[in-house]
Amino acid sequence: MLEGLRELAALANAAALPMLATQHRAIGQDTCHFIAPVSLGVEGGGAGKIFLTSARIVFVGGRLRSWPWHRLRRITRAGRDLIIVIAGEADDLVLQCNTFGEALIAEHIIGRIAKM
């Protein structure tokens, strides 16, 4: 948790978001700012990776799912879980990060990109 808070402080003080190199085909021409392993918080949701890009949230697991930033309505962090309310979706998107630090960083980046 302390390491995650240190990383968050450094990121919060940075003028720009990190830009990560990835050749994952799901990202296309988007700029990738964050990658982390996550589990979907629904029963049997499975594990995968989340990519936070300049244009959207991308979850790559059993199948590819993505949500553009303009559809985000709210994000809440509860421990390692990110609860994301997305317009047009019946259920909230619940992502469980592997570490508290990854959840803190993802919440911060989503807030900056989506300007919520």
pTM of the predicted structure, to 2 decimals: 0.86
Query: Is 31 buried (19+), middle (13-18) or exposed (0-12) by CB count in 10 A?
Result: middle
Decide: 87 and 71 in contact? Cβ < 8 Å: yes
pLDDT at res. 77: 94
pLDDT at res. 53: 95
Could you give the number of structural domains in the chain? 1
Range of the domain at 63: 2-114
Angstrom distance (rounded) from CA 16 to CA 29: 19
60-113 pLDDT tens trace: 988 889 999 999 999 999 999 999 999 999 989 999 999 999 999 999 999 888
Alpha helix segments (H runs only) across 14-99: none
What CATH number corresponds to the domain at position 41?
Answer: 2.30.29.30
Q: What is the mean pLDDT of residues 12-35?
A: 87
- Inform me whether the pLDDT recorded for 11 exceeds 90: no
Q: What is the mean pLDDT of residues 19-34?
A: 88
Closest listed residue to residue 30, CA positions, set 17, 19, 44, 14: 19
How many C-beta atoms surround the C-beta of residue 82 within 10 A? 25
